[in-house]
Amino acid sequence: MTIAVYRKSPLGLAISAETMAALDKAVSLARDGGHSIEEIDLPMIDRSFMADFARSVASATAGFVRGENVRNGRPIGPDLERSTRVLARFGETFSAGELYAGLERLHAASRNLISWTAKYDAVLMPVIAHPPLKVGAMNPAGADEFLENALDRLRLTRLLRIEQFLGQLMDKSLWFTHWPAIQNVTGQPSISLPVHVTDAGLPIGIQAAGRPGDEATLLSFAAQMEKLSGWLDRRAPLRRPEPARAAA
């Protein structure tokens, strides 16, 4: 097969050395499997694409909240996590015309990308930009928490319509995982390949995106990569818990 490799961040943000090592490992395994590799760019995937994606998600969240308000017979805003509440309010600030124009741009970019990559059997790209984080590590803290609280309590979400503020929101929300949004928009099948383990023993997958409707090729490729990586032979170390000691 012919496999393409996309190494850039759609947001232009930093990518860790561990993530790039995982991508290099995936490329090496694909070559070992007999496939040819081509490095590519995806110029239609940029910050404007990601901004349209963010607006679409915010609007979808607003629509979902409206539906749940009706289903429950009451406003559900107080029951939501603060970040979800802020996102839904942001989504309410857009007109139908603005949303339609944004969706048209996303559809045009999708058609362009699918045509651009049609000659490849799969496109390799990262899933996460950094090694896995501890639970709770992405919760807002300090200045970020203060800003989110202000947006929520003072209902200042309209400020997010300013490109600079929206850009900051995207960078803070998507800094850990930049790439899955692409397939969320294009509808292409994609699969995460288990190819790399950090020195700390944490897994980093690399995704392969395929042609629309061609899941069979991806599943076959993934099975081969799983076998070549030796992943099926890996076992997590199990530690027997120490018995509880009675208090003296």
CATH number at residue 3: 3.40.190
Tokens matching residue 241: 């818990």
Rounded Cα–Cα distance for residues 50 and 63 (Å):
20
**Judgement on whether residues 126 and 189 belong to the same structural domain of the protein:** yes
Domain membership flag for residue 81: yes
Rounded Cα–Cα distance for residues 179 and 39 (Å):
16
**Judgement on whether residues 160 and 64 belong to the same structural domain of the protein:** yes
Q: Looking at the chain, how many residues does it have? A: 248
Domain membership flag for residue 108: yes
| 213 φ, ψ (degrees, to nearest 5) | 80, 0
Q: Strand, coil or helix: what is 5? A: strand
> In this model, does residue 101 exceed pLDDT 80?
yes
Query: Is there a contact between 125 and 206 (Cβ–Cβ < 8 Å)?
Result: yes
Domain membership flag for residue 243: no
Give the C-alpha distances (Å, rounded to integers) separating 19 from 8, 128, 179, 189, 213: 11, 7, 12, 21, 28
Q: Return the higher-pLDDT residue of 147 and 49.
A: 49
Using 50, 70 and 90 to split pLDDT, how confident is the model at 192? very high
Domain membership flag for residue 158: yes
Query: Is there a contact between 229 and 195 (Cβ–Cβ < 8 Å)?
Result: yes
**Judgement on whether residues 85 and 188 belong to the same structural domain of the protein:** no
Using 50, 70 and 90 to split pLDDT, how confident is the model at 83? confident
> In this model, does residue 246 exceed pLDDT 70?
no
**Judgement on whether residues 3 and 60 belong to the same structural domain of the protein:** no
What is the count of structural domains for the chain?
A: 2
Read off the amino acid at residue 219.
L
Domain membership flag for residue 35: yes
- Return the closest-CA partner of residue 209 out of 234, 236, 191: 191
**Judgement on whether residues 196 and 91 belong to the same structural domain of the protein:** no
Q: What is the pLDDT of residue 75?
A: 94
**Judgement on whether residues 5 and 92 belong to the same structural domain of the protein:** no
Rounded Cα–Cα distance for residues 205 and 192 (Å):
6
Rounded Cα–Cα distance for residues 97 and 224 (Å):
46
**Judgement on whether residues 208 and 101 belong to the same structural domain of the protein:** no
**Judgement on whether residues 197 and 99 belong to the same structural domain of the protein:** no
> In this model, does residue 71 exceed pLDDT 70?
yes
Domain membership flag for residue 222: yes
**Judgement on whether residues 72 and 150 belong to the same structural domain of the protein:** yes
Tokens matching residue 197: 């383990």
**Judgement on whether residues 25 and 124 belong to the same structural domain of the protein:** yes
Percent of the residues in the chain that have a pLDDT greater than 90, as a whole number: 67
Domain membership flag for residue 183: yes
Tokens matching residue 133: 């984080």
> In this model, does residue 248 exceed pLDDT 60?
no
Domain interval for residue 35: 1-42+119-130+176-231
Using 50, 70 and 90 to split pLDDT, how confident is the model at 154? low
Rounded Cα–Cα distance for residues 162 and 165 (Å):
5
Q: What is the pLDDT of residue 146?
A: 67
**Judgement on whether residues 34 and 102 belong to the same structural domain of the protein:** no
Burial class from Cβ neighbours inside 10 Å (0-12, 13-18, 19+) for residue 155 reads exposed
Residues with Cβ within 8 Å of residue 204, at least 6 apart in sequence: 18, 19, 22, 127, 128, 131, 132, 195, 196, 197, 198
Torsion of Cα atoms, 175 then 181 then 219 then 122, to 10°: -90
**How confident is the model over 68-97, as a mean pLDDT?**
92
Domain membership flag for residue 239: no
Q: Strand, coil or helix: what is 33? A: coil
**Judgement on whether residues 91 and 149 belong to the same structural domain of the protein:** yes
Query: Is there a contact between 177 and 95 (Cβ–Cβ < 8 Å)?
Result: no
pTM summary value: 0.85
